[in-house]
A = this chain, B = another copy of it.
Amino acid sequence: MKRQLGVGMLTSSNKNKELFFGIDGGGSKCKAIIMNKDNEILGTGISGPGNPLHGFDQATNSITESAKLALEDAGLSELELSDIVAGVGLAGVNLPVLFDQMAAWQHPFKAMHLATDLLIACLGAHDGSDGAVMISGTGSCGFSCVDEQQTIVGAHGFPHGDKGSGAWFGLQGVKQVLLSLDGIVPTTLMSDVLLKKLNCKDDTDLVEAVASQKATYYAQQANLVFDAAEQGDKVALAIVDEGAEYINSIARTLLTKNPPRISMIGGLTPRLKPWLADDIKAKLEEPISPPEVGSVLFARQQQAKQSVQQSA
């Protein structure tokens, strides 16, 4: 689609200026939306992993693919990726080497504004304004953006970090069950539930089942730790209390930055939030929009800054 084709196209070109891609590229999938100036999502596309930690080619292919799918889903197939500005939030680009690599990408968009997955999650949760988020999904971390000062707490990875994440809860559960099978700690109902779920009859089976497993596998065992804790299982309760206390610590660290709003997001939120300290729970507000919307908000802010710089 070329812009010099006529009056109709001029209108389309003007319209394009009001359209933005919002992209959220994570370790398991890449999600793209296309949004108009009235904050309506016109189309959505989902593709493979968009985290450059899994490789530059995989990430850039997923980003391009998800954007094309969103364009198609919106019924805007007459437009090209090069007609539209994209906000792109990616896991992994908090590492400078990966940020530089992705920023140097000969991307297919009209312009690309690159941010961390943490910044777009925070912008989404607080509708583009300052704020803080605690994130607990497969991994865990805290992030705040206040007066253009960004703070990251955690986000260290598994198994050396990511305390209070799904992977961490699952790993603690497996550890305690292995100890109980050796008689080092008491056996509780969590032991039976875990062995049953993983089709194991003893510790040899369990060791075979969990050998070399990754964070995502352990995250799948997190729910049963919470189930057991909710039934009063003392070993599970101790795990849940320790994980919740870490998320409390993240919150307290973030609150020293005086964010106007603070939210908790990520897949483990419904299970973990009830276990947080009362003073923290009292401060939590519902996230307003998901991270991909945060990518659009980020791209709009960056475009607005550029306009100001150009007119200055």
Give me the interface of A with B, judged by CB distance under 8 Å.
94-97, 153-157, 159-161, 163, 171, 174-175, 178-179, 182-184, 203-204, 207-208, 210-211, 246, 249-250, 253
Determine the chain B residues whose CB is within 8 A of the CB of A171 once the complex forms.
159-160
Note all chain B residues with C-beta closer than 8 A to A203: 156
Contact between A153 and B174 (Cβ–Cβ < 8 Å)? no
Partner of A253, one of B161, B178, B183: B183
Q: Which residue on B lies nearest to A184, using beta carbons?
A: B249
Interchain CA distance A208-B160 in the complex, whole Å:
12
> How far is the CB of A105 from the nearest CB of chain B, in Å?
21
Which has the most chain B C-beta neighbours within 10 Å: A160, A161, A178, A253? Answer: A160
Complex Cα distance, B204 from A157, in Å, reads 11
Chain B residues in 8 Å Cβ range of A253: 182-184
In this complex, what residue of B is CB-closest to A245? B184
A207 CB to nearest chain B CB (Å) = 5
Q: Which residues of B contact A208 (CB under 8 A)?
A: 95, 97
A-B contacts besides A95-B207, A156-B203, A184-B250, 16 pairs, CB < 8 Å: A97-B208, A153-B183, A156-B207, A157-B207, A157-B210, A157-B211, A160-B171, A160-B175, A160-B178, A160-B210, A161-B175, A163-B179, A183-B253, A184-B246, A184-B249, A184-B253
Kindly list the 5 A-B residue pairs having the minimum CB-CB distance in the complex, ordered from nearest: A159-B159, A184-B249, A153-B182, A160-B174, A156-B178
- Nearest Cβ on chain B to A237's Cβ, whole angstroms: 19
| Distance to closest chain B CB from A233 (angstroms) | 19
Q: How far is the CB of A50 from chain B (nearest CB, A)?
A: 18
Contacts of A211 in B (CB 8 A): 157
Closest to A158 in B: B159
Q: Is there contact, CB below 8 Å, between A153 and B207? A: no
Instruction: Give chain B nearest CB distance to A199 CB in angstroms.
Output: 15
Measured between beta carbons, the chain B residues less than 8 angstroms from A161 are 175, 178, 207
- A210 CB contacts on chain B under 8 angstroms: 157, 160
A156 and B126 CA atoms in complex are apart in Å by 44
Smallest CB gap from A210: residue in B: B160
Closest to A96 in B: B204
Bound CA span A210–B208, Å: 25
Which residues from chain B contact A184 at a C-beta distance below 8 Å? 153, 246, 249-250, 253
Chain B's nearest CB lies how many Å from the CB of A126? 22
| A85 → chain B closest CB, angstroms | 29
Contact B174 A204 (CB under 8 A): no
- Find chain B residues with CB under 8 A from A250 CB: 184
With a cutoff of 8 Å between Cβ atoms, the chain B residues found around residue A204 in the complex are 94-96
Q: How far, in Å, is A198 (CB) from chain B's closest CB?
A: 12
Query: Closest CB-CB distance, A282 to chain B, in whole Å?
Result: 21
- 6 A-B contact pairs sorted by A residue (CB < 8 Å): A156-B203, A156-B207, A157-B207, A157-B211, A161-B178, A163-B179
Question: A157 to B212, alpha carbons, bound, how many Å?
Answer: 9
